[in-house]
C-alpha cells in the first residue's frame, strides 16, 4: 500500500486520470442499481483532492440542485428536497473529517 501511495504522490497525471475514472464509476453506480456509486465517489475525492476545481464545481451544482428542490413549487418536490438536504448534511459530517485525514496521509511528508 505504501508503494502505491508513493507512486500516486509522484505521478499527479495518473492520479487525476484515476480520479476521473472513479468519478465516472460513481456516476454510473448512482444511475444503475447493480453497483453502488458511493465507493467510486469517495475514491475519486481522495485521488483528486477536495480542492480540485472540477469536483468543486460538481459539488456546487449538486448544492444548487438541492436548493432548487427545497424551493420547488410542488410540495412533494419540496419534501424530497428537505429530506435529501438532511441526508447530504449527515453524510458530509460523517465523511469529510475522514477524507481530510486520509488526504493528509496520502500527501504525507
Residue range 10-64, pLDDT digits in tens: 777 888 888 889 888 888 888 887 778 788 888 888 888 777 888 889 889 999 9
- Supply the pLDDT for residue 77: 92
- Supply the pLDDT for residue 31: 83
Residue 67: pLDDT band with limits 50, 70, 90: very high
Residue 2: pLDDT band with limits 50, 70, 90: low
Output the pTM of the full model.
Answer: 0.70
Cell numbers representing residue 9 in the block: 504522490
Cell numbers representing residue 68 in the block: 432548487
Scan for cell 481530510, then name that residue: 100
Q: Which parts of 12-108 fold into alpha helices (H)? A: 12-31, 38-48, 53-70, 75-107
Cell numbers representing residue 67 in the block: 436548493
- Supply the pLDDT for residue 12: 78
Amino acid at each position: 500500500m505504501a508503494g502505491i501511495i508513493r507512486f500516486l504522490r509522484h505521478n499527479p497525471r495518473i492520479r487525476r486520470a484515476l480520479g476521473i475514472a472513479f468519478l465516472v464509476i460513481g456516476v454510473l453506480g448512482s444511475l444503475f442499481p447493480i453497483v453502488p456509486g458511493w465507493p467510486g465517489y469517495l475514491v475519486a475525492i481522495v485521488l483528486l483532492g477536495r480542492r480540485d476545481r472540477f469536483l468543486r464545481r460538481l459539488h456546487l451544482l449538486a448544492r444548487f440542485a438541492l436548493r432548487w428542490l427545497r424551493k420547488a413549487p410542488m410540495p412533494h418536490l419540496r419534501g424530497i428536497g428537505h429530506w435529501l438536504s438532511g441526508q447530504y448534511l449527515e453524510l458530509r459530517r460523517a465523511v469529510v473529517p475522514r477524507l481530510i485525514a486520509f488526504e493528509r496521509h496520502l500527501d504525507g511528508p
